[in-house]
Amino acid sequence: MPGFLNRFSIVGMHPVTPRFGANYVPSAGWFYSWLDYDGAAVRRDFADLAGMGLDHVRVFPVWPWIQPNRAIIRERAIEDLLDTIDAAAEHGLSVAVDLIQGHLSSFDFLPSWVLTWHKTSLFEDPTVRDGLTSYVETVARALAEKPNVFAITLGNEVNNLWPDSATSAESSTSWAQELLTTVKNAAPDVLALHSVFDDAWYKVDHPFHPVDVVDLGDLSTVHSWVFNGVSRVDGPLGPATLSHADYLVELAAAASLDPARPVWLQEIGVPGPDIPVDLQAEFTRRTVELVLANPALWGVTWWSSHDIDRRLLDFPDREYDLGLFTVDHQRKPAAQALADVIAEVRSTGISPQPATTLTCPVDLRTEPHRRPEVAPGSEFHLQWVAARAAGPVRIVLPG
């Protein structure tokens, strides 16, 4: 795996090439395809991704289909997951696996043993936590045997499962800490990660805090979606929209106690109507080029690999067309733009750029109740965006 640059001492250091990957959404049948697994279809999808120069995929087994009862963990489902990992290896791709799905493309998937008359909190109920520990340990132990698995994330944006699963800041933190320990014990040579969406950074009362992102797990992960309000600041190709990914990476780097802790841009995409189809290639190129200048960046993983077939019903409209490829394997303009950036970076590297600093008015570690002061459109955010127009801007916390 590539080395990491210290974000405050980049001058004169040899440039490091970030990782580039895709969040894997199967072209045939979306994630319902786990119910009728087709290894040949998976391999066809991975050929698309390898062909554009990607080096990894993030895959999403669906929790209730592996553990439909607290006492049952289906071996066949784990075998299908392991075959997906083997298929990735055949195409030169390493793999990150998310375990608790949980939340995918606007749908929540939970086993029946936490619903109906069993309904309880995933984060606070000790019986559920015991069941989850068994699931996480079993799957992580199986994944540890695969040399191309480099990371295990607890789940995809698990904070989307609140408030339907009540929790507090203390409970959500201890929940993640316990499961990360389970992952590390079962798969000690694999990165163990915790993934949340950006309410953890911006929402005043959210029970998942910035310190969860930057203290828990082996590196920090951020998900940059411009439909969170930033596209309303200045439109699809405005500086606030194009720099939002870099802004989130900066917030995570600033809030970490470890100045060398990497930040993985684990999700970013071109959602409509915020990013119109005819601007998606330009948005992709310019956004990725901006964030690549950040020395804290570990890598960029696009959401998603393939579109969702419109014969499948009831998804929000924007979810159908987020793929780098269509369902019939045609490379889309955003994919070509990303492939071009990857080729250029691998050919010429990334040269360090001089950066200025800007002090945040909020200590995100100790003042989570002030998070709206750094949200898109806030005074500080707009100040950072204006400064970013002249070059990279490192964020530092007060004091």
Bridge partners (DSSP) listed for residue 151: 96, 191
Write down the pLDDT at residue 352.
87
Task: Flag whether 254 is in a domain.
Answer: yes
Examine residue 2 and state whether it is found in any structural domain, yes or no. no
Is pLDDT at 79 greater than 70 in this prediction?
yes
Torsion of the alpha carbons at 303, 306, 312 and 316, rounded to the nearest 10: 30
Q: What are the tens digits of pLDDT across the range 292-340?
A: 999 999 999 999 999 999 999 999 999 999 999 999 999 999 999 999 9
Under a CB-based contact definition with an 8 Å cutoff, are residues 195 and 223 in contact?
Answer: yes
Query: pLDDT by residue (tens digit) across 331-388?
Result: 999 999 999 999 999 999 998 899 999 999 999 999 999 999 999 999 999 999 999 9
369 within domain boundaries: no
| pLDDT tens figures, 87-114 | 999 999 999 999 999 999 999 999 999 9
Q: Residue 2: is its pLDDT beyond 60?
A: no
d(CA 38, CA 96): 20
Flag whether pLDDT at 274 surpasses 60: yes
Residue 155 has pLDDT above 70, yes or no: yes
Tell me, what CATH number does 30's domain have?
3.20.20.80
| CA dist., res. 192 & res. 302, Å (int) | 20
Note whether residue 342 is domain-resident: yes
Residue 373 burial by CB count (10 A; 0-12/13-18/19+): exposed, middle or buried?
middle
Q: What pLDDT shows up at residue 174?
A: 98
Query: Is 374 among the domain residues?
Result: no
The pLDDT mean for the chain works out to: 95
pLDDT mean over 172-196: 98
Calpha distance 227→212 (Å, rounded) = 23
Residues 35 and 136: their CA atoms lie apart, in Å, by: 20
pLDDT (mean) for 43-68: 98
Exposure letters 12-28 (e unless 16+ CB within 10 A, then b): eeeebebbbbbbbbbbb
Q: Can you tell me the mean pLDDT for 135-164?
A: 97
Residue 57 has pLDDT above 70, yes or no: yes
This model's pTM is above 0.85: yes
**Cα(327)–Cα(309) distance, rounded to whole angstroms?**
6
The total domain count for the chain is: 1
- Residue 177 reports pLDDT greater than 80: yes
Q: Is 387 inside a domain boundary?
A: no
Coil, helix or strand at residue 283: helix
Say yes or no to pLDDT of 14 above 70: no
* Dihedral angle, C-alpha 30, 31, 32, 34, nearest 10 °: 130
In this prediction, residue 116 carries a pLDDT of 92
250 domain residue, yes or no: yes
| C-beta neighbour count of 295 within 10 angstroms | 26
Which residues constitute the domain of residue 217?
19-354
Determine the average pLDDT of the residues in 44-69: 98
- How far apart are the C-alpha atoms of 236 and 274, rounded to whole Å? 6
**Predicted pLDDT of residue 399:** 85
Tell me: pLDDT of 258 over 60: yes
1 occurs within a structural domain = no
Q: Assign 237 to helix, strand or coil.
A: coil
